[in-house]
A and B are shown apart, each in its own frame.
Chain A
C-alpha cells in the first residue's frame, strides 16, 4: 500500500515536472506582458508537428529534429510577438488575449488542414518496459521525461539568475513599470519572453507527445499548465514549478483513489476551485489595487 502510494507520488511528480514547464511558459508571458496566452497549447502542438515533419519529410535524425522543432517554435513565438502582440500592446488587455485565442485556433486549424486530422505516430525516445526497484516500477521513458524537465529547469535557473538578459526578464516579470523606469527596454524583454516561452512549449510537447496520440487537438493539454500556474499563484517561476508538481501528484492520487475518469477532470476542477477559493494561489498575495 505504501509502495503504491510512493509509486503514485513518483509518477505524479514526473508528470508534474512537465506541467511545471508548461506553467513556467505561461507565467513568463503573463507576468511579463499581462497577457494570458491561450494559444500556448497550440504552439506546443505545432512544436511536435515540426519534429515529426523534420523526421519524416526532411529525414533528420532525432537530435537535430528536436533542435529544429525548438528553434522554429521560438521563431514562431517571435513572429507572434512582433506581428500581433506588439501592435496590440496599448489596447485593453481583453484584445491581446482574444488575439492569442485566435492565433491558437489558426494554428490548430492550419495544422489540421495541412497535415491532416488523423493522428501521427511519434516514436518513443526510450524503452517503456519498467525496471523494478524495491517494489516500485520505474519506466525509462518516464525517467527521460523527469531528466529532461530537470535539465531544462536547471538551464532556466542559470539563465535567470546569472545572465543579464535573464535578470532583465525577471525584472520585467516582477514589475514591468519598474523595469522600464530602470532602463530595461520593454521590447527586448517581451521578445525574449515570447521566444523562451514558445521554446518551452515545444520542449514540453516533445516530451509529452510519445505518451499520447498526436493530433491537431493535442494542445488542449495546456489546460494542465493553466491549472498548475494558477495553483502556484501565477506569481513566480518557482511557484509555477511547485504548482506543476503538485498538480501532477494530485492527478495521480485522484486517478487511483477516486477513479481514472477523475484524472481528466482534476485540472478543470482545480482551475475553478483555486480561482474561486484561493485566487492568489498558494504563494501569491493579491496586492492592494492602486489608483
Chain B
C-alpha cells in the first residue's frame, strides 16, 4: 500500500534519512523503531509531503506521493498524528474532529448565506460523526471541552480521532504512546488492534514504547542514524544481532 524506495533526506549538511526502503501492506501494523535521532519522524513528514525527499520515491497505492501538496496527499487516504500534539487548542474536542470531516461534509458559501437545508444537514451530520469518532476513542465525555485543557493522554487520543475523520486507508502515528501510563497503553493497544482488525486500516507506527510495538505489530523496521538496519516480525527483530547492536552500541532509548 505504501512504499518508500531508497529515500534520502538531507537538510543542508545533515543526512536525516539515508537510503531507506520500507513498505506497509494493507491491514498490517508496521512499527518503525530505532534510537533517538534515527530519522523516524522525518519519514512520516516525507510521506505526508511536508518534506521532499532529496532522493528516492514514495509511492502510495501505486501513485507517487513526492511533490504533491500535503492536503492532496491527505485526501488520498493518508492521515497522521504528531509527536508534539498539534491540536487546535482553542477548539473543543468535537470541533477538532470536525476539521478533519470538512472535506466529507463540505457545503458552499451560497448554501450557508442563504440558510439552505444543505448546510444545516451537513453541519449536523459532521457533528454526529465527530461524536461517533470520539466515542470510538472513548473520549466522548470531553466532547465540548477545549482541546488545550485536556489531559495529556487524552490529547493523543483526540489526535487519533481527528486523523480518523479523514477516512484514511493508512494511519501514520508519531509516538502515540509516549508519556502514557500503563493502563492507557493497554487501551491504546486495544484501539489500534481494533482499527486494524475491524476497520481494515493499515498503520505505520513510530514509537519507542516496546509495550506497544512488541504487542501489536505485524512487522517491525529498525532504523539507526537514518539507515535501515532490519525489517521483520517481532521475534525476528528481537533476536537480530544488528538490532541489538544498534540499541546497545549507540544511544539508548526504549521502554
A288, A289, A291, most chain B CB atoms within 10 A: A291
Interface flags, A259-291, vs B, CB<8A=1, else 0 = 000000000000000000000000000001111
A288 to B45, CA, bound (A): 12
Q: Which 10 A-B pairs have the closest CB atoms?
A: A291-B45, A291-B50, A288-B51, A289-B50, A288-B52, A288-B11, A290-B51, A290-B50, A291-B82, A291-B41
List residues of chain B with CB within 8 A of the CB of A288. 11, 51-52
Contacts of A289 in B (CB 8 A): 50
Binding site for A on B (CB under 8 A): 11, 41, 45, 50-52, 82
- Chain B's interface: helix, strand, loop or mixed, by majority? loop
Tell me the minimal C-beta distance from A86 to chain B in angstroms.
24
A289 to B52, CA, bound (A): 10
B52: A residues at CB distance < 8 A: 288
In the complex, per-residue mask of A123-160: 1 if CB is within 8 Å of any chain B CB, else 0: 00000000000000000000000000000000000000
Interface centre among A288, A289, A290, by most chain B C-beta atoms within 10 angstroms, is A288
- In the bound assembly, the distance between CA atoms of A290 and B11 in angstroms comes to 10
- Number of A residues near B (Cβ < 8 Å) is 4
Closest to B83 in A: A291
Q: Please, could you name 9 A-B residue pairs with CB atoms under 8 Å apart, sorted by A?
A: A288-B11, A288-B51, A289-B50, A290-B11, A290-B45, A290-B51, A291-B41, A291-B50, A291-B82
* Nearest CB in chain B: distance from A287 CB, A: 9
- Chain A's nearest CB lies how many Å from the CB of B79? 15
Interface of A is mostly: loop
Which residues on the B side are within 8 Å of A291 (C-beta)?
Answer: 41, 45, 50, 82
Min CB distance A90 to B, Å, is: 14
Contacts of B45 in A (CB 8 A): 290-291
CB distance from A288 to the nearest CB of B (A): 6
A199, chain B: closest CB distance, angstroms: 34
Residues 212-245 (chain A) with a chain B CB within 8 angstroms:
none
Name which residue of chain B comes closest to A289, CB basis: B50
A290-B45, A291-B41, A291-B82 given; 8 more Cβ-contact pairs under 8 Å: A288-B11, A288-B51, A288-B52, A290-B11, A290-B50, A290-B51, A291-B45, A291-B50
CA distance A274 to B11 in the complex (A): 26
A154 to B144, CA, bound (A): 60
Q: How far is the CA of A291 from the CA of B42 in the complex (A)?
A: 9
Cα–Cα, bound, A116→B50 (Å): 53
Using CB atoms, name the residue of chain A closest to B11: A288
Query: Given the complex, which residues of A lie within 8 Å of B41, measured CB to CB?
Result: 291
Q: How far is the CA of A289 from the CA of B46 in the complex (A)?
A: 12
Which residue of chain A has its CB nearest to the CB of B42? A291
Tell me the nearest residue of chain A to B44, going by C-beta: A291
Complex Cα distance A291/B82, Å? 9
In the complex, how many angstroms separate the beta carbon of A20 from the nearest chain B beta carbon?
29
C-alpha gap A97/B52 in the complex (Å): 31
Q: In the assembly, what is the distance between CA of A33 and CA of B41, in Å?
A: 28
| Distance in Å: Cβ of A177 to nearest Cβ of chain B | 14
Residue of B with least CB distance to A288: B51
> Please, how many angstroms separate the alpha-carbon atoms of A149 and B11 in the complex?
38
Question: Nearest CB to that of B9 among chain A residues?
Answer: A288
B203 to chain A, nearest CB (A): 20
CA distance A255 to B51 in the complex (A): 44
**How far is the CB of B44 from the nearest CB of chain A, in Å?**
9
CA distance A288 to B11 in the complex (A): 9
B246 nearest CB across to chain A (Å): 25
- Shortest CB distance A250–B (Å): 33
**Cα–Cα, bound, A288→B52 (Å):** 8
Closest Cβ of chain B to A28, distance in Å, is 24
Measured CB to CB, the nearest residue on chain A to B51 is: A288
Contacts of A290 in B (CB 8 A): 11, 45, 50-51
Q: How near does chain B come to A95, taking the closest CB pair, in angstroms?
A: 15
In the complex, what distance in Å separates the CA atom of A288 from the CA atom of B82?
Answer: 18
Q: Which residue of A lies closest to B54 (CB)?
A: A288
Query: In the complex the two chains form, what is the Cα distance from A289 to B48 in whole Å?
Result: 13
**CB nearest to B86 among chain A residues:** A291
B84 to chain A, nearest CB (A): 9
CB distance from B66 to the nearest CB of A (A): 13
Q: How far is the CA of A12 from the CA of B11 in the complex (A)?
A: 40
A291 to B51, CA, bound (A): 9
Taking the nearest CB of chain B, how far is it from the CB of A154, in angstroms?
A: 31
With both chains docked as a complex, state the minimum distance between the C-beta of B70 and any C-beta of chain A, in angstroms: 10
Docked CA distance A245–B82 (Å): 46
Nearest-neighbor residue (CB-CB) of B50 within chain A: A291
CB distance from B9 to the nearest CB of A (A): 10
Task: For the complex formed, measure the closest distance between the CB of A232 and the CB atoms of chain B, giving whole angstroms.
Answer: 22
Q: How far is the CB of A72 from chain B (nearest CB, A)?
A: 42
A161 to chain B, nearest CB (A): 23
